[in-house]
Amino acid sequence: MFFHKLSQVQKVRLLALAKRMMIADAKVRIEEDAMYAVLRTELGLGSDPPTQEVFGEIDVEPFDDPFSRLLAVFTLATMAHIDNNLHQSESDVMREVAARFNMDDKTYARIMDLASRQGDLVREFEEFFEQNT
């Protein structure tokens, strides 16, 4: 992805938001855990974010440009869709983040659609991989 364009603060905050998304429905699925591990590696972060960053108030201040905002929302939406089960609590987190970015409904809907298709592709590849190894 384009994570190399994020600042270190943005990377840590994105990982904290991803963890929040992962645990939003109080049930961590295998797909979510795997995506979180990949995200942490892609962000170049060796450890989990501080607990207060995960459970505190949602702070999107570090995402101060359109690129980082879109990337953050897309990443979180993909996390929410990766298990093919968009839970209401995940949707609530997504809506709150998008609202804090003043994201319009059209952009939000497009990102959610892209993330849903991304989740489908990841699951399809995993099935293909299992059948061919």
The two structure tokens encoding residue 115: 């993330």
pLDDT in tens, 12-24: 999 999 999 999 8
Q: Is 29 exposed, middle or buried (0-12, 13-18, 19+ CB in 10 A)?
A: middle
Rg (CA), the chain: 14
- CATH 1.10.3680 corresponds to the domain 3-131: yes
HEC assignment per residue over 76-89? HHHHHHCCCCCCHH
Nearest in space to 55 (alpha carbons), one of 93, 87, 88: 93
Confidence of residue 1 (pLDDT cuts 50, 70, 90): low
pLDDT in tens, 43-80: 999 888 888 888 888 889 999 999 999 999 999 999 99
* DSSP secondary structure string for all residues of 86-100: --HHHHHHHHHHHHH
Domain chopping of the chain, boundaries: 3-131
CB 30 within 8 A of CB 70: no
For residues 87-102, average pLDDT? 93
Confidence of residue 129 (pLDDT cuts 50, 70, 90): confident
Say how far residue 71 (Cα) sits from the centre of its chain: 9
Using the CB atoms, write b or e for 71-97: b if 16+ within 10 Å.
Answer: bbbbbbbbbbbbbeebeeebeebbeeb
Contacts of 12 (CB under 8 A, 6+ apart): 45, 49, 53
